[in-house]
Amino acid sequence: MATAQQQDTGLVQRGLLLLGGMTALVIVVLLIVLRNPDAPPKSVAARSEVVVPVFVAPAPFPAAVDWRLLVHLSKQLPSAPGWEVRYNAAVTLARRGSLKTPWPVLHDMLDEEQQLRNYRVMLKNGQMVSNQEDATRTVLNALAAVAEWHKKQDQNPKAAVTISGDLLLVYQDVDRLAQSGNTLVRVHADRVRQTFLRK
Amino acid sequence: MTPPSGRFIAQLFLVPGMIVLVAVLIILGINYLFIGGYTPEYFLGKLDSDNADIRWRGASDLAQHIKRPESKHLKADAVFALDLADRLRTALDELDQTEHALAAKIAKLPQAEQEKEWARLTPKKKRDYVEFLAAALGDFYVPVGVPLLCDIVKREEAPDPLSNTMRRRRAIWALSNLGAHVQNVPRELSVEQQAKVIQQLQDELAAPQSERRSDARTALHYLDKTKVPAHEPGLVLVDHVLADCAKSQDRFLRVQVAMAFNFWDGDRTEETLVRLARDDGFGTLIRVAEGD
């Protein structure tokens, strides 16, 4: 009689354990099914809308335009159309070690804020957000290209390379990225600085 | 009532698991010993089958197998690559003829009906087959696919602009893959393997004038420029094709061209890249969704 009771208790315990497991599984499945599909993914940073009161009309043109704000507006807009083409061409030229590498394009690529403006996507609910992952990848690509360009110059000591003003700007960008809040960018930028031509 | 013991529950899974494992091992063993595994003959036989299911099974096997690191011997088989290029050429011609015939057939219908008819009769399987073969040629170390891939990339006009756009983009992607593989030849193939590839291509050059011979000649140029220099007539030069393609109205195609130049060097590479670095975004950004 006592043995039968012990066996029954074992059966009940195992049954309860199974029930607990099933409940946990159901909760996980429900969480997956019912999660909000429109919620921005973790890699997507919400950005404020670009609102610049450039045009006010207290006076006729050109006084109607606040030109200071217009300059500011250029820092709130994505890069000019065709930036995807320019970026890829610039990276390819830099990787080849070309002396015709367009440093202003790489300067644009190394601007983290600019990349957040370039990689903006609209969610299903109409909210505009920046894709942090793509933006960071662009900055890292540019950093890698800058490092590759310098390595190519090292391999070709005959090439007389001068540090132009545009290249100096890129150096400043990399210096700034070496202080970035993004650890990955910071580490890469620090490594790239070791390849620079400046003493 | 006795609750099931742990051993009993384990046996419930273990015994059927062992039976399935033994069966799978027997099948794999038979396949390895008697069928001979995945050889070029196996793939070509499947691709040439009259049965569409077998054809697609062969295509699927090839697509998976050729990307594996242990498939170097397959990727370095110039004759196999040329055989696939022959099939791509035939498939491309057939697709072209079918699309033009279809376009002529529905030309007299009103615009709305034309689109419906095109969607209904479009040769989707032929298109998929062409795109599969083009992608497969990009996985080889031997660049025999260059002339055909460049031919696809150059086609601006087609009865179906959307699928043509998609095909051109995929062809550039395959060209980039191919270029990356060619760059890796000295690192990834042994000296003996490299010599074998060159010998296979030179044997093809001994054949009478044909498109296959022309494919082999272009491939030989990219693997050993001393054997076939760039100034020889009839060669298909990737940098020249990409340079022309860099003027395309399709912005995404220009992005791909800029990337592809990472893998293909030539006398027009630098000037084209400098031009692309000043691109003002002209033309259109044609978005082609999967399934269009």
In chain B, where the domains are located: 36-65, 69-234
Does the predicted model carry a pTM greater than 0.80?
A: no
Say if A129 is an interface residue toward chain B (CB within 8 Å): no
pLDDT score, position B82: 97
Residue with tokens 């420029």: B225
Say if A83 is an interface residue toward chain B (CB within 8 Å): yes
Residues of B in contact with A82 (CB under 8 A): 251, 279-282
CB B104 within 8 A of CB B165: no
pLDDT score, position B19: 93
What's the rounded mean pLDDT across residues A125-151? 94
CB A119 within 8 A of CB A100: no
Cα separation, A177 vs A166, whole angstroms: 17
Residue with tokens 């998609």: B166
Any domain includes A21? no
Q: What does the pLDDT look like over B59-118, one tens digit per residue? A: 999 999 999 988 999 999 999 999 999 999 999 999 999 999 999 989 888 888 888 888
Any domain includes A135? yes
Residue A81 has pLDDT above 60, yes or no: yes
Q: What does the pLDDT look like over B70-79, one tens digit per residue? A: 899 999 999 9
What's the rounded mean pLDDT across residues A35-62? 55
Any domain includes A29? no
Residue B251 has pLDDT above 90, yes or no: yes
Residue A3 has pLDDT above 70, yes or no: no
Please give the mean pLDDT across all residues of chain B. Answer: 91
CA–CA min distance A121, chain B (Å): 15
Within its chain, how far is the Cα of B25 from the centroid? Answer: 32
pLDDT score, position A83: 96
Q: At A23, which amino acid appears?
A: T
pLDDT score, position A74: 67
Q: What does the pLDDT look like over B188-229, one tens digit per residue? A: 999 999 999 999 999 999 988 889 999 999 999 999 999 998
Residue A77 has pLDDT above 60, yes or no: yes
List the single range of B129-143, B152-166, B178-192 with lowest mean pLDDT.
B152-166
Residue A62 has pLDDT above 70, yes or no: no
Say if B6 is an interface residue toward chain A (CB within 8 Å): no
Q: Which of A7, A82, A92 sits opposite B251 (nearest CB)?
A: A82
Residue A2 has pLDDT above 80, yes or no: no
Q: Which residue is closest to A105 within chain B, CA to CA? A: B277
List the single range of A28-42, A80-94, A115-129 with lowest mean pLDDT.
A28-42
ipTM of the complex: 0.82
pLDDT score, position B49: 93
Number of A/B CB contacts below 8 angstroms equals 68
Residues of B in contact with A91 (CB under 8 A): 258
Cα separation, B223 vs B194, whole angstroms: 9
Residues whose CB is less than 8 angstroms from the CB of residue B165 and which lie 6 or more positions away in sequence, other chains included: B250, B253, B286, B288
**A45: which strand partners?**
A130
CB A164 within 8 A of CB A137: no
CA–CA min distance B282, chain A (Å): 7
Any domain includes A199? no
Secondary structure in 3-state letters for chain B = CCCCCHHHHHHHHHHHHHHHHHHHHHHHHHHHHHHCCCCHHHHHHHHCCCCHHHHHHHHHHHHHHCCCHHHHHHHCCHHHHHHHHHHHHHHHHHHHHHHHHHHHHHCCCCHHHHHHHHHHHCCHHHHHHHHHHHHHHCCCCCCCCHHHHHHHHHCCCCCCHHHHHHHHHHHHHHHHHHHHHHHHHHHHCCHHHHHHHHHHHHHHHCCCCCHHHHHHHHHHHHHCCCCCCCCCCCCCCHHHHHHHHCCCCEHHHHHHHHHHCCCCCCCCHHHHHHHHCCCCCCCECCCCCCCC
Say if B274 is an interface residue toward chain A (CB within 8 Å): yes
Nearest Cα to Cα of residue B123 among B104, B101, B143, B106: B101
* pLDDT tier, A9 (very low <50, low <70, confident <90, very high otherwise): low
Q: Which residue is closest to B261 within chain A, CA to CA? A: A92
Say if B281 is an interface residue toward chain A (CB within 8 Å): yes
What's the rounded mean pLDDT across residues A78-86? 94
- Side-chain-side CA neighbours of residue A124 (13 Å): 6
pLDDT score, position A4: 54
- Are A102 and B274 inside 8 Å of each other by CB? yes
pLDDT score, position A36: 62
Cα separation, B154 vs A197, whole angstroms: 41
A38: tokens are 């429109």
Q: Give me the domain span that covers residue A129.
A: 45-193
* pLDDT tier, B233 (very low <50, low <70, confident <90, very high otherwise): confident
Cα separation, A198 vs A195, whole angstroms: 9
